[in-house]
Amino acid sequence: MKIIFFGTPLFAVPSLEKLLHHPEFEVLAVVTQPDKRRGRGSKLTPSPVKALAVEHQIPVWQPKRIKKHPETLSRLKQAQADAFVVVAYGQILSPEILQMPRLGCINGHGSILPEYRGAAPIQWCLYNGEKSTGITTMLMDAGMDTGPMLLKQSTPIGLLDHAINLAERLSSITADLLVETLIKLDRGDIQPTPQDDTQATYAPLIQPVYYRLDWSKSALALHNQVRGFFPNCVTPFREQALKISGTIPLGVKLPSELQELEQQWPTLSQLSGKQGEILHIVKRFGPVVQTGDGLLLLQEVKLAGKRTQSGWDFANGTRLASGEILS
């Protein structure tokens, strides 16, 4: 089966790897976003998908706007591919492109559709405290993740999962599910299922304003915000920006590796204070903060200009004391 792969970030790499090494597929070319300047030297850096394609000597096309790039459009037509496979490419495909391949354009989307259509499904499902998520493969149409569904696979979300490790798990699921989808679609073993638009929810692009922590929220809501927008959430601390990348909501059922902390809950539950106030420093864990509802332990933080460190090292290094306010 002749494939052209569309993808850009690390999330798409396992899918391309799987197709490159599978005997039933030939990847004719890769379409990815243009190189971007990154790092202190602003060096032009290829996308992770391009790096993999170059390693395997696969042709790479990088149109700035694919819908208005005649050369790329001509190449796509001439390729006569059986399918275009799209995983986190980053541009909307035109109806002209969608109609080119024999089997259509098959997308691996990071949610169980029709929930969390849009650019950031993994982040928003964590922010909303979902207990599970998954991958849906679908035939793309002109809408935003509105095409008929092909296959789905779910995975549970743990209390301490965050956007990066959940994305890693989902990227592996995507790779396997796309292979199964392509083979079954080619054999006629899948009946595409229309989405129920009345059940749709949306996952818009993440904006910097979402990173600010409001200590009037509940401990669980703040925890979900931190892991959903990992590792970028921030709060003021001693007139500096303190990034918080790991938290533990107290008073809920914790994973077995945190049993020691759970055993301290009867004592910690007696603490109370102002919103954003440091109430206590738990040995080997870190500071406990009063929220609008419940207590939140800061497990991993990063001061401006410093390295990421554990909450315990942070408390010791800054001589943090009970009564200080994050505000």
Closest CA to 34 of 86, 91, 75, 85: 91
Rounded CA-CA distance 201/170 in Å is 19
Q: Quote the distance between the C-alpha of residue 202 and its chain's center.
A: 14
Rounded CA-CA distance 6/150 in Å is 18
Please enumerate in sequence order all residues whose Cβ is within 8 A of that of 279, keeping only pairs 6 or more positions apart, or say none: 271, 272, 273, 288, 289, 290, 295, 322
Residue 266 φ/ψ, nearest 5 degrees: -55, -35
63 cis-preceded (ω within 30 degrees of 0): no
Rounded CA-CA distance 295/219 in Å is 6
Q: Is 255 annotated as a binding residue?
A: no
Q: Is 63 annotated as a binding residue?
A: no
Rounded CA-CA distance 150/136 in Å is 7
Rounded CA-CA distance 218/251 in Å is 12
Q: Is 322 annotated as a binding residue?
A: no
Element (H, E) at 54: helix 48-55
Sign of the CA dihedral with 309 first, then 312, 316, and 322 last: positive
Strands (E), 32-104: 36-38, 43-45, 60-61, 83-87
Q: State the DSSP string of 209-220.
A: GGGB--TTSBHH
75 within 8 A of 29, measured Cβ to Cβ: yes
112 within 8 A of 92, measured Cβ to Cβ: no
Q: Is 297 annotated as a binding residue?
A: no
Annotated binding site for (6S)-5,6,7,8-tetrahydrofolate: 111-114
Annotated binding site: 111-114
